[in-house]
Structure formats: C-alpha cells, structure tokens
A and B are shown apart, each in its own frame.
Chain A
Amino acid sequence: MKPETLWTGAALVAGLLFLSPVLYTIWMSVLTVDSYYAGDPVLTLDNYRTAFGQYDFLRYLLNSLLVSGVVTLGGLALAVMAAFAFARFDFPGGDFLFAAVVATLMIPGHITLIPNYLTLARVGLLDTYAGLILPAISNGFAAFFLRQYIRGIPRALDEAAYMDGATPLQVLWRVIVPLARPAILSMGLYIFITEWNNYIWPLVAISDSDLYTLQIGLAKLYRENPGEDVINWPLVMAASTITILPILIGFLAVERHLVRGITMGAVK
C-alpha cells in the first residue's frame, strides 16, 4: 500500500473516532429501547415516530427553522446596510457610531438577559415568535465583518454607477451586494447556526411548549423524560439527531464558506 493511502486511512479512522459520539448518537436513535438495554441491536424508526408524533419535535423543528431563518435574513439586512454606510460614506459621528457597533462584540450577552426579559414582558412579547427573534436580530459582528469586506471592493465601481444616475440604495443592491455575496453568504451561515443553537434566550423567553425550539425541546425531553424510571436513551438520541442533523447536512455542503467566514473575521 502506498504511504499516502495509509495516511488517508489513518486520518479517516482518527476523524471517525473523534466524531464517534455523534455517530453513536445516530446509531442509537434507530434501535428499539428493549434491544438497546439488552445489548442486542434491533433496528427501528419508532423513536423518530415518537419524537415527531407524541413529542412535537416536528413543531420544534419548524420553530427553529422559522426563528433562525428570520433572524438570519433580518440580521443580514441590518448589517449589510450599516456596513455599506460605514465602508463608503464619510459622515460626522461615523467613527463614533462604528465604535458603538464594534463595542457590542465585547459586551457579554448575559448582562442583557434580565432587562430584555423585562422589556418583552412589558410590551407583551414573551411567548411569541417576535420575542424570540427581535433581541437576536442586531449583529455587530456581521456589520463589522461586512464593512471590512466591502472596503476591499474597488470604489470606482460605485462611482461608475452613481455617474449613471443610480441612488445609494441601487448601488448597494446592484453593485455591493452581488460583489460581497461570498462574505454575505458566510455571515448568513454563521448567524443561522448561532441562532439555531441558541439556548439561554429561548429558555428565558418561552414557556409555551408550542413555541419551543429544538434546543429547548431536547433539553426538556432529556431532563423531564416523563413517566419513565430509566431514561429512554434511544428516544433522546432520536431527538438529538433531529437537532444535529440539519446543521450536519448543511455543514457538509458549505464547510468551505463557513471556514472562510470564521477566519476572515478573525484574521483581519
């Protein structure tokens, strides 16, 4: 065997070993409970049927998709507009306002937990989708990151469009957004994943189980495991798989963009 094949094999084994907790989770999710405890595997999809049927994980999945989707689109829209302004316009107070945006990166999110809860309670948005979405929409990091990227786009392209009579919004939409697409895509993935995995805010803002996201549904299922003496591990693992799988599939499709997003933000 060629040494390269050997190294590839070794790397594959090491990778699988590292990911074995995840792989084991998926494997366990298709075993019957009895066969799991007996140590004699019998395959079934019943755990998924139970999770989606009896335990509402379909609803949680849709909630997660909806909340993460809206947060991503809203977050990108706000960040792109602000990034364009900071990258291309020279205006009084611009540096100060940019500093105010970047400073949010240093602020621990947990200091806002209690006041944001109170704000939403006051306007009646606890236990609503809006309550899940609104506090997560502003994203200082995305604005900062996109500004850096837009500054790298030649200014002559904007100027040409302005000469042709374009308005700033048209320049943003027709020139900047298409050229910044890779950066916007990376940032969108990053926001989506962060929001998908968000735990503490939905934990605080939501008590109505109809609005649970996957993270909350899974934590509750694992903790409360209603009416069982022994934890129904295969059912819990099916729920975990439902929580992990969408990101896992997306990850395999877009890993490159994701890595670029993370490193571009950090290295600059």
Chain B
Amino acid sequence: MSRRLTPYLLIAPLLAFIAVFTYLPILSSVNLSFREWDFLTDGKPWVGMENYRLVLSSSEFWNAVRVTGIFALISVPLRLALALAIASYLVREALPQRLLRGALFLPSVTSTVAIAVVFSWLFATDYGVINAALATFGIPKVYWLQNPQLALWVIVLVNTWKQLGYDIVLYIAGLQAISKDLYDAAEIDGGGRFHVFRRVTVPLVMPTTYFLLVISVIEAFQVFTVVDVMTRGGPAGATDMIVNMLYRVGFTLFDIGQGSAIAVLLFVLLIALAIFKARVLGRRVHYEA
C-alpha cells in the first residue's frame, strides 16, 4: 500500500458508513420533507412546503415544542445544580465518597427502558410503592401518570435520576483540575464555605458547566424512550416530546413527508441552539473563567 494512499484507505471505511448512514440521510430527509408519501404507494409527488405548512399549523407540533422546551428548561438546570453540589462533596478521594460515586453513576449506564418500567411501577396508581407509602400517611391515591399536571414532573424526575451520575462524574473531573492553592487562598481570605463555593468553585468549573449545558440541552430535545415507555406522550399530550411526535407521525401514521418535516425542523432547532450557545454563552464562559 502506497504511503500516500494509506491515510485515505484507513479512513475510508468509517467515512463510507458515515456517508451512507448519516450524511445521505440528512439530504434524504430534506428531500422527503417536500414530498407526500405513505411507504406503500409508488409515486412520491412533490408538494413543496405543504408538509411544513401542515406541521407548523398543527397544535400538536407546537404542543410538542412547548412540552420539550419546558422539559429542557426544568430538567437541565436541575441536573446541573444538583450535580455540582453533590460533586463538590464527592470530589474527595475517601471511601464514603467513592462508594457514593459508584451508586450515583450506575443509573446513567443502565437501560432507560428498564428504568422507565421500574418507575412506572413506583408511580403506579394501584400497587405502586409511592402511593402505598403515601397511604400510610392517610393521603389518598395520586394519579401520577394519568394527571396532566403531574406526568411531566415524573418524567423530569426519572430523567434526572438517570442522568445525574454522568453530570457528577464530569463535575468531579472538572473540580479535580482546580488547583488546591486557590481554595487555600480563598480560605485564608476568610471566606465561608458557601462563599468559596460561589466565588471559586462555580466560576472555575464554568468550562464543565458549559460542556454539560450543551450536551444536556441537545439530549433534552431528543428525549424519547422514557416518555414512550411511561406515557406515550399522554395524558392529553402533556408529555408529548418532539421525537415522540416524529415517531408517531412517521412510523404509526406512516406519513413520511410530515415525519421528515418534523425531523428537519428538529435539526434546524438544534443547530440554532448550538449557534446561539456558541455566540452568547461561549463568550461569557471565556470571560468569567
């Protein structure tokens, strides 16, 4: 193998897979989003912006955008705040900290389906552990997953429980990179614990916070599994995320055109978020850190 060709041959297999299963599908999605098709018929007539018009004028889509937005807005800050607080305790290399780290990290590598099933049982109206516990205090049955006011909160809780450990691990790594001198200096200056946390820890882990913010917002906008298993978007659309709608339109209603339009809109939304974060937040992080 000639030395000049070698690098191309080495990357060719990876690039071939990426081209076929990532880049071409993006183009294909855009193309399909302008067509009307139900998987079965032969023709795929071009309908221009019709699919976008239908999606953008449906209350279902805006509900999904709203629900996904609320989910991201609640669950991301909650996760990051909890994770940083816990990580700053777990950063020490002693036995209790190591034990807790393992326990908190475990859910983030475990099956989301299994977790969703288990929490469905915890929050089940009849024979569920939580209602059983509440009953001992004389509190009547709560319809956790059937009540539109509550279901999204349960989804947020399950997601937080699952992802928290991942955030904690990254925060611990970020905290370990902070020089100990800075803490000593801050303590000599007579800062209390909270003061040191606010003035030293929070600004110095900004790069980690920024990284986590980026990936967890992207993740939040693609949440699917927990919802699909626990509520299927219900009750009355209260937990219907964008991807759940995409799945429903594409694979249960077989509307390829509208399904593709939703996928393209999600793509554009995430790109816009990424640009916004790079422009606005990216600058602030460098400024503060």
Give me 6 other A-B pairs in contact (C-beta within 8 A), A113-B246, A263-B173 excluded: A10-B96, A22-B118, A24-B129, A199-B224, A247-B109, A263-B172
The 9 closest A-B pairs by CB, nearest first: A15-B103, A11-B96, A138-B17, A115-B25, A89-B7, A85-B10, A115-B28, A263-B173, A112-B25
Q: Which of chain B's residues 192-224 have a Cβ closer than 8 Å to chain A? A: 208, 211, 218, 221-222, 224
Q: Given A19-B103, A81-B13, A114-B259, does the pair A199, B110 have CB atoms closer than 8 Å?
A: no
Residue pair B119, A262 in contact (C-beta under 8 Å): no
Q: Which of chain A's residues 5-32 have a Cβ closer than 8 Å to chain B? A: 7-8, 10-12, 14-16, 18-19, 21-22, 24-25
Residue pair B103, A16 in contact (C-beta under 8 Å): yes
Residue pair B28, A85 in contact (C-beta under 8 Å): no
Q: Given A94-B7, A119-B25, A199-B112, does the pair A108, B218 have CB atoms closer than 8 Å?
A: yes
Residue pair B114, A15 in contact (C-beta under 8 Å): no
Chain B interface residues toward A at CB < 8 A: 1, 3-4, 6-8, 10-11, 13-15, 17-18, 20-26, 28-29, 32, 94-97, 99-100, 102-107, 109-115, 117-122, 124, 126-127, 129, 161, 166, 169-170, 172-174, 177, 208, 211, 218, 221-222, 224-225, 228-229, 243, 246-247, 250-251, 256, 259-260, 263-264, 266-267, 270-271, 274
CA gap between A199 and B227 in the complex, in Å: 12
User: Which of A15, A137, A218, A233 is the one whose CB lies under 8 Å from B17?
Assistant: A137
Residue pair A197, B110 in contact (C-beta under 8 Å): yes
Q: Which of chain A's residues 191-250 have a Cβ closer than 8 Å to chain B? A: 193, 196-197, 199-200, 203-204, 214-215, 218-219, 222-223, 230-231, 233, 236-237, 240, 243-244, 247-248
Residue pair B250, A114 in contact (C-beta under 8 Å): yes
User: Which of B121, B208, B225 is the one whose CB lies under 8 Å from A200?
Assistant: B225
In angstroms, how far is the closest chain B Cβ from the Cβ of A114?
A: 5
Residue pair A119, B96 in contact (C-beta under 8 Å): no
- Residue among B22, B170, B177 having the largest count of chain A Cβ atoms under 10 Å: B22
User: Which of B18, B99, B122 is the one whose CB lies under 8 Å from A15?
Assistant: B99
Residue pair B169, A262 in contact (C-beta under 8 Å): yes
Q: Given A200-B225, A204-B251, A247-B110, does the pair A111, B26 have CB atoms closer than 8 Å?
A: yes
**Which one, A43-51, A98-106, A151-159, A179-187, is touching chain B?**
A98-106
Main secondary structure of the interface of B (DSSP, over half): helix
Residues of B within 8 A of A169 (CB): 1
Q: Given A112-B21, A138-B17, does the pair A258, B113 have CB atoms closer than 8 Å?
A: no
Q: Given A7-B96, A8-B95, does the pair A82, B10 have CB atoms closer than 8 Å?
A: yes
CA gap between A252 and B225 in the complex, in Å: 25
In angstroms, how far is the closest chain B Cβ from the Cβ of A236?
A: 6
In angstroms, how far is the closest chain A Cβ from the Cβ of B28?
A: 4
Residue pair B169, A91 in contact (C-beta under 8 Å): no
Residues of B within 8 A of A34 (CB): none
Chain A interface residues toward B at CB < 8 A: 4, 7-8, 10-12, 14-16, 18-19, 21-22, 24-25, 37, 77-79, 81-82, 84-86, 89, 91, 94, 97, 100-101, 104, 106-119, 134-135, 137-138, 140, 143, 167-169, 172, 193, 196-197, 199-200, 203-204, 214-215, 218-219, 222-223, 230-231, 233, 236-237, 240, 243-244, 247-248, 251-252, 255, 258-259, 262-263, 266-267
Q: Given A8-B96, A82-B11, A94-B7, does the pair A118, B28 have CB atoms closer than 8 Å?
A: yes
Main secondary structure of the interface of A (DSSP, over half): helix
Residue of A nearest to B172 (CB): A263
- Residue among A140, A168, A196, A244 having the largest count of chain B Cβ atoms under 10 Å: A244
Residues of A within 8 A of B274 (CB): 106
CA gap between A243 and B229 in the complex, in Å: 15
Residue of B nearest to A98 (CB): B11
Residue of A nearest to B27 (CB): A115
CA gap between A258 and B129 in the complex, in Å: 32
In angstroms, how far is the closest chain A Cβ from the Cβ of B281?
A: 16
Residue pair A244, B110 in contact (C-beta under 8 Å): yes
CA gap between A84 and B174 in the complex, in Å: 28
Residues of A within 8 A of B121 (CB): 233, 236-237
CA gap between A196 and B113 in the complex, in Å: 11
CA gap between A236 and B127 in the complex, in Å: 14
In angstroms, how far is the closest chain B Cβ from the Cβ of A170?
A: 11
Q: Given A82-B10, A248-B110, does the pair A110, B21 have CB atoms closer than 8 Å?
A: no
Residue pair B114, A244 in contact (C-beta under 8 Å): yes
Q: Given A138-B22, A197-B110, A247-B109, does the pair A111, B29 have CB atoms closer than 8 Å?
A: yes
Q: Given A14-B100, A101-B15, A116-B25, does the pair A267, B111 have CB atoms closer than 8 Å?
A: no
